[in-house]
Amino acid sequence: MDAQDPQLVRYNFKRLLEDIAECEGRGTELITLYIPPGRAIADVMNYLRNEYAQAGNIKSRVTRKNVMGSLESLMNKVKQYRTAPEHGVALFVGAKAIGADRSEDVSFVIEPPEPLNTYMYRCDSHFILDPLLDMVHEPETWGLIVIDRKEVTFGLLRGKRVEPLRNKQSQVPSKHGMGGQSAHRFERLIEHAAHEFFVRCGDMATELFLPHKDNLKGILVGGPGATKEFFIKEGFLHYELQKKVVEPLFDVGYTDEYGLRELVEKASNTLHGLEVTAEKKLIQQLLSEIRKQRDSLAIYGLKETKAAMQAGAVKTLLVSEALKDKELVTSLFELASANGAEVRMISSESEEGEMLLKAFGGLAAIMRYAYKPT
């Protein structure tokens, strides 16, 4: 773990969005510009030049001056890009009100952690943040499998983005109208072809998922009918992947790329529940240790927790996402990294997360062994 820990990146990203959200302008003096990946910078510059020309018609002298000045600043920033970055870029420029009819120039440039999927130019009394707010939570990675006897599709879910990986048709023959011995022989051929298809599906899952199993939160499996249950229960998946399959399996109507998206939609409540459950377990473990009369593995308080980390006693550091002091949070991550402690950022939206924030100041730890700072 280092200063680029994904949790810390997300935390700083969230704090930055909060700073931007606090900016308020008079009239339409705050400009929001989203440039998605693949958008031609020359087209964006032409659009901004046209807006600059139109801004000359604004009646209010003060507003006209501020908007035109902001557009000049914005164009200078956009010109620094030859092409849009990999995930696009969001720019926020304008004059925020600071009271007594005074204003102050503000400027923020963000290359987001996930790809922008929209182009937007907006002048308003506030900056538009909705496309970025969806990216605040850490993007977990899940394996996706949708399968029936005719087809299988594998994919990944990264944050909110579905990435198809591979589709395979089975070539398993359909049912038939033969009778007698021919029917039994043909049925055996069908079942043999189906078995071979499932074996290949297991091999593909191993190839696609096993090298990355440590980064997979779990594997979601769906499909129409009972094939998905048969595939999982009969052990066609590698045992390391089998352990990551999320129960229950999900009924979806398709087994192509659309089926992957349907699977994610069906699993949304389950995924949210798993995330909340993991946080609840950590806080409950902390409280259980606090209640012990002796040999407690819990510690809280900034001074005490830092001392325990410096002694190498901390196993898991619990930090509330609601802490506002970015320097403090960064220093805690660095201290944890230097002393082999895991950091878990805890949402303040659950009852347990709120307790961590209000009862323990947003900071506590579960230790490897009982330790009392001197």
Domain range summary for the chain, segments of one domain joined by +: 6-133, 142-274, 292-367
**Superfamily name with CATH number, domain 292-367:** Ribosomal protein L30/S12 (3.30.1330.30)
Task: Give pLDDT, residue 314.
Answer: 95
CATH class, domain 142-274, is alpha beta
Question: Regarding beta strands 363-367 and 342-346, do their DSSP bridges make them parallel or antiparallel, or are they unpaired?
Answer: unpaired
Question: Regarding beta strands 342-346 and 314-320, do their DSSP bridges make them parallel or antiparallel, or are they unpaired?
Answer: parallel
Q: Which two tokens stand for residue 68?
A: 């035109």
Q: Do domains 142-274 and 292-367 have the same CATH topology?
A: no
Residue ranges, the chain, pLDDT below 50? 1-3
**Superfamily name with CATH number, domain 6-133:** eRF1 domain 1 (3.30.960.10)
Q: Which two tokens stand for residue 281?
A: 């377990």
Q: Report phi then psi at 248, rounded to 5.
A: -80, 165
Are 290 and 184 in contact by the 8 Å Cβ rule? The answer is: no
Q: What is the DSSP letter of 245?
A: B
Rounded (10°) angle between helices 302-310 and 326-338: 30
Place of tokens 């189906």: 194
Are 346 and 353 in contact by the 8 Å Cβ rule? The answer is: yes
Task: Give pLDDT, residue 175.
Answer: 60
Give the global pTM: 0.65
